[in-house]
Amino acid sequence: MATETSLEVGQMHVHILDDGMFVTDAGNLFGGSRKASIKGAMHPILVEAGDDLVLIDAGFGPELPEMLEGRYELRREENLLDHMDEAGFAAGDVTRVILSHLDPDHVGWALNPPSFPNATVYVQQAALEEARQMPQKDGRRAAVPAVERGVEEGWCELLEGDGEVLPGIKVEVRPGHSAGHQIVWIGESDDAALYTGDLAPAKIWLDPNLIAGVDTDPEAARKNRIEVLSEAEERGAPVILYHEPQDSLVKVRSEGDSFKADSFGS
């Protein structure tokens, strides 16, 4: 994946980056054992917004977390920092990092270890609280010590609900996949793009009725998927799909009780 996808939203420049691919048994995502493997990309987003450089989600980090060894395989020739470098940015240029939630495939470079020395990292309080309640070996639970340290040291800020991180960059809490899961609207009204995080991370998830074993509240996920994707369609906002291996930038349209993806620009 050598070519970088980017788009203009208002005065902002949005880069869709890459932190490699993971391969896992489908049972890890849908429950049960399906004896089939599933591939997912990781596409952190970098937004040039005036003097700020905002990273949205942060891949697996330097290597696959130990707790996932054997269940997940990480494939990559270049990682997020390599891709940032190719796009002309260094880790020290990042001023803000928004984490949709605390799963290890979203927080890596931001927390383990923190790779952006000049950035404030934004986490929803509710996501942290849920992570504290997870079983000891859970991936979300593993993020808790780093977030708590970040709050103590002043580089991590806990959010309580919706808000504007910067003019034109709004987080909106849309739980289901996790408590306190936040999506990001980049831009205003009909000149906007949507980052869905794990609410709808790939084309198959555009079907609101897909029930995933990885959603802590499947009913909330379903309702929020419908509301958010409907709004994206109404506003004509392209949708950035974090885990989609190909065509991670799409336009969605409703069809029956589901949504379909068209390539952006077509």
Q: Give contact residues for Zn ion (rule: CB under 5 A).
A: 105, 198
Do the Cβ atoms of 156 and 131 come closer than 8 Å?
A: no
Question: Between residues 12 and 121, which has the closer beta carbon with respect to Zn ion?
Answer: 121
Residues 6 or more apart whose CB falls under 8 angstroms from that of 61 comprise: 104, 107, 108, 109, 111, 112, 115
Question: Between residues 139 and 187, which has the closer beta carbon with respect to Zn ion?
Answer: 139
Per DSSP, the chain holds a count of helices (H) and strands (E) of 6, 17
Residue 41 beta carbon to Zn ion: minimum distance, rounded to whole angstroms? 10
Specify which residues 124 forms β-bridges with.
159
Residue 198 beta carbon to Zn ion: minimum distance, rounded to whole angstroms? 4
Question: Between residues 48 and 103, which has the closer beta carbon with respect to Zn ion?
Answer: 103
Comparing CA positions, the residue from 160, 169, 176 lying closest to residue 229 is 176
Residue 28 beta carbon to Zn ion: minimum distance, rounded to whole angstroms? 11
Do the Cβ atoms of 98 and 54 come closer than 8 Å?
A: yes
Residue 167 beta carbon to Zn ion: minimum distance, rounded to whole angstroms? 28
Residue 92 beta carbon to Zn ion: minimum distance, rounded to whole angstroms? 26
Question: Between residues 54 and 199, which has the closer beta carbon with respect to Zn ion?
Answer: 199
Question: Between residues 18 and 48, which has the closer beta carbon with respect to Zn ion?
Answer: 18
Please state whether beta strands 239-240 and 191-195 pair in parallel, antiparallel, or not at all (unpaired): parallel
Q: Tokens 């495939």 — which residue?
A: 105
